[in-house]
Amino acid sequence: MISSLQKVRASYEPKLPPALRKGALTKINQGNDTTAIADVDKIKKLFSATFGSPELSFEVGTGETLDKAINIGVILSGGQAPGGHNVIAGLFDGIKSLHKDSKLIGFLGGPSGLINNEYVELTAEIIDEYRNTGGFDIIGSGRTKLETVEDFNSSKDNCLKLDISALVVIGGDDSNTNACLLAEYYKSNDIPIQVIGCPKTIDGDLKNEQIETSFGFDTACRVYSELIGNIQRDAKSAKKYWHFIKLMGRSASHIALECGLQTHANITIVSEEVETKKQTLDEIVAYIANIVAKRAETAGDFGVVLIPEGLVEFIPEVKALISELNDLLAKEEEAFKILSSKDEKIVFINHHLGKDTSYTFSSLPQLIQMQLLNDRDPHGNVQVSLIETEKLLAEMVASKLSELKSKGKYTGKFSAQTHFFGYEGRCAAPSNFDADYCYSLGYNASALIASGKTGYMSSVRNMTQHSDKWIAGGIPITMMMNVERRHGEDKPVIQKALVKLDDAPFLELVKNREKWAIETDFVYPGPIQYFGPSEVCDLVTKTIELEQA
């Protein structure tokens, strides 16, 4: 069943950069040769065939077409993000502009569909059903990694069977790292298949000067900010609850920061600041408790705290505890598995931990202790998203306030509600920004294919300006790479973009957070607006607005 909104939304025509408005066969401007963001010699050695390619920008072409139709494969990889369907729609329209008989092959279920040759031809009828919609359900997604020679050869064989000359990988940093490895393998072995990436992740940690933002970040933050605004309105109405809200973002705090800027929440914790300042768990708890106590004297016993999903891994003593627990549970897996009761497990762990980590472990509520002992992910690491950091902080703040009350330093009444906003934002109908940006990324990917390039990421820049000033082009994926130690081996990976404490978005938070903490200066963003004046429908995030100012 298609909703009324979806029916009307299907007719929305996304904006395109000027260079792409006459089709995907464009004029190409090549910049200087590029290097890697770090570990240059290692990256150059690992990617000898694709390293050093120039940055590209496009200018409008003549509207000509290719002499021959092309077949292109597309993969959705990793977690869902609003706008993925529009990337595919833009890619479809782009290759059709190159030749009307070009075909788009969608591999089902993510990279595993490429390996197992499970696919569907994406026709105009299918594409039209999914334009401007959220989700990845058009072909599904998956988290299979393309890393081994066997995977590369399977993908090669399946592409050649289907006469596919280029693959487009729509994914985050890990997925695009795999795309870069695949491009290198194909090119170094003279396999005639191009590989192009598109930057996806709601976490916002895949960006640089050429990739201004990853798609889905705008929509997800607007969905979360609407919910936070609703909670703030409720808190201000009832005046009896403190709401502790955990938000997506394991490796970076971009979502928490953006939502804090959009809603003026009383407290926004930024993991990168915690790590830089080496703040302890007790210091974070004391910081929150002191604000609660101050607000009790003026505004009342209510407020909102925003918490990044990955916070616990940025707190030095908890990070050390998690690291030791990962090693311990791997080493003592069999002995630990036979223990049945919570008490037995806690005693066992404390007995095997070092003095400092045992103290940290013992200071945590039992609920959190058991969550830290849950089954590890496939890499042997704690599943941070399953740790209820919001409950941990709410419980510890309550204890700290009891201490303050016993000393006559707190006279209020503390009651907490906890929330985790994650899946609520991943598949929302894309905002106009994400609908436009994603369609442009897909169309631009077809221009990169037409230019004969491989190992590039689709790039659309200058997004705070009118669409007449958007810049289309491509950035070599190797330019974003560094080497990290993973599972005892050096691995090339795209470097995650963390919140920079000297950049405008964080400095804007710092400038206002004392005021927002004590005063009730809430902003209620409301739902995403798809129809109406540009000033409410064509917004950009506070993050990109401040970064590009």
Output phi, psi for 312, to 5 deg: -60, -30
Q: Give the Cα separation of 220 and 250 in Å (integer).
A: 15
* Cβ pair 110, 74 in contact under 8 A: no
∠ CA 530-10-57, rounded to 5°: 80
Q: Of 29, 31, 91, nearest to 59 (Cα)? A: 29
* Cβ pair 90, 187 in contact under 8 A: no
* Cβ pair 200, 78 in contact under 8 A: yes
The DSSP H or E segment spanning 239 is none
* Cβ pair 493, 234 in contact under 8 A: no
* Cβ pair 174, 206 in contact under 8 A: no
Q: Which of these is catalytic: 203, 218, 301, 436?
A: 203
For residue 524, give both structure tokens: 């209620």
- Determine the 3-state secondary structure of 56 from DSSP: strand
Would you call 104 exposed, middle or buried from its count of C-beta atoms within 10 A (0-12, 13-18, 19+)?
buried
Is 203 among the catalytic positions? yes
Q: Give the Cα separation of 15 and 28 in Å (integer).
A: 21
Helix 432-450 to helix 84-98 angle, to the nearest 10 degrees?
Answer: 40
For residue 231, give both structure tokens: 């909670």
Cα 47 to chain centroid, rounded: 25
Q: From residue 54, how far is each of 69, 160, 474, 496 by CA, in Å?
A: 27, 28, 9, 22
* Cβ pair 197, 180 in contact under 8 A: yes
Q: Give the Cα separation of 39 and 181 in Å (integer).
A: 16
Amino acid present at 294: K
Q: Give the Cα separation of 264 and 278 in Å (integer).
A: 25
Q: Pairing between strand 471-476 and 54-59?
A: antiparallel
* Catalytic residue list: 203
